Amino acid sequence: MLSVHDRQALARIEADLAAEQPDLARMLARFDQWAPPRRRGLARHRFLVWMAVVGAIALALAFALHSAAVLVLGILLLAVSVFDAAVLWVLAQVRRHVRRPAARSAHPTRR
């Protein structure tokens, strides 16, 4: 968190920028609007879902065709998709844990 002095210095810089270059200040104020919207849910991880589906189909075909090569392919696809999903879940938990203290300090608890 920034100190009061640092916040005041940044406010002075922002005011100077707005006075000297209003177009740039306006553009920087709208900077977040240019970012593409975040995709959530399964649409964000379509590749993992398709890989798991193809792996499951390969397993079913391997048992139907008695093919060791297709069995290995299905197991590999399923293992990689499960591993990737686990990594993405862990990263989401870490991000949530990292963001949580910042949110607490921004909004002090009321008692």
% of residues, the chain, pLDDT over 90? 23
pLDDT of residue 42 exceeding 60, the answer is no
Question: pTM of whole model > 0.75?
Answer: no
Instruction: Give the pLDDT of residue 43.
Output: 61
In eight-state DSSP terms, residue 111 is -
Mean pLDDT of 29-38: 66
Tell me: the pLDDT tens digits for 58-90? 999 999 999 999 999 999 999 998 898 888 888
Give residue limits of the domains in the chain: 1-35, 39-111
Q: Quote the tokens at residue 42.
A: 């399964």
* Alpha carbon distance 17, 35 (integer Å): 23
- Side-chain-facing half-sphere of 110: CA atoms under 13 Å: 0
Instruction: Give the pLDDT of residue 32.
Output: 63
